[in-house]
């Protein structure tokens, strides 16, 4: 179960690897996570800033009009997949 220090680490990881990068594709491994939300509207945008509140991360995907909300509950984790090589880091 991630605790606050781990979620802060995820925030810093996100800042280092995702801010300013163009989102080319969104892949959801479990559709139940998104419900009826459409994440494809993130494609073509880039994350401008990230905020943490408890175990929640909020990433601004441009001009404050679209935010990605991530919650790190019992088993949350954050990984990045490099589109150029297909490897995860």
Greater model confidence, 3 or 66? 66
Q: Is a pLDDT exceeding 60 seen at residue 86? A: no
- CATH fold of 4-71: N-terminal domain of MutM-like DNA repair proteins (3.20.190)
- Beta-ladder partners of 50: 59
CB 11 within 8 A of CB 18: no
- Whole-number Å distance between alpha carbons of 20 and 35: 27
Alpha-carbon dihedral 55, 11, 77, 66, rounded to 10 degrees: 80
Band (83; pLDDT cuts 50, 70, 90): low
Residue 31 contacts by C-beta under 8 Å, 6 or more apart in sequence? none
pLDDT recorded at residue 7: 87
Question: What are 63-81's pLDDT values in tens digits?
Answer: 778 898 888 777 777 777 7
13-33 pLDDT, tens digit per residue, is: 999 999 999 988 887 777 787
């Amino acid at each position: 179960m991630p605790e606050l220090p781990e979620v802060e680490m995820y925030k810093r990881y996100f800042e280092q690897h995702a801010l300013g990068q163009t989102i080319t594709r969104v892949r959801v491994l479990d559709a139940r996570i998104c419900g009826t939300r459409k994440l494809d509207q993130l494609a073509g945008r880039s994350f401008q800033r990230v905020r943490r509140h408890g175990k929640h991360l909020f990433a601004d995907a441009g001009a404050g009009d679209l935010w990605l909300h991530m919650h790190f509950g019992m088993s949350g984790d954050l990984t990045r997949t490099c589109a150029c090589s297909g490897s995860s880091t």
